Amino acid sequence: MLVNSGSSVPAPLYTRRTEEYDKRDANIQIRYLPTTTSEGINEISRGASDFGAGEAQLTEKQRKEGSLTELPVVLVGIVLIYNLPDLHGELGLSGDVLADIFLGDVKTWNAPQIAKLNPDVPLPDLAIKVINRPAGKGSNCVFTDFLSRVSPKFRGAVGVSASPKWPVGEAAECSSGARTR
| Report field, pTM of the whole predicted structure over 0.85 | no
CA count, 13 A, side-chain hemisphere, 128: 25
**Total number of residues shown for the chain:** 181
Profile the chain (181 residues) by mean pLDDT over runs of 10 residues. 85 87 84 86 89 84 89 82 86 97 97 96 94 86 94 97 93 56 40
- CA 15, chain centre distance (Å): 20
Task: Go through the domains of the chain in sequence order and give each one's CATH number.
Answer: 2-66 (3.40.190.10), 95-177 (3.40.190.10)
The alpha helices in the chain, defined as continuous H runs, are: 11-24, 37-45, 60-66, 95-103, 112-117, 138-150, 152-157
SS3 content of the chain, % helix, strand, coil (to 5): 35, 10, 50
Taking the C-alpha atoms of residue 177 and residue 13, their distance in angstroms, rounded to an integer, is 21
* Per-residue pLDDT, 19: 86
CA count, 13 A, side-chain hemisphere, 48: 9
Taking the C-alpha atoms of residue 56 and residue 137, their distance in angstroms, rounded to an integer, is 9
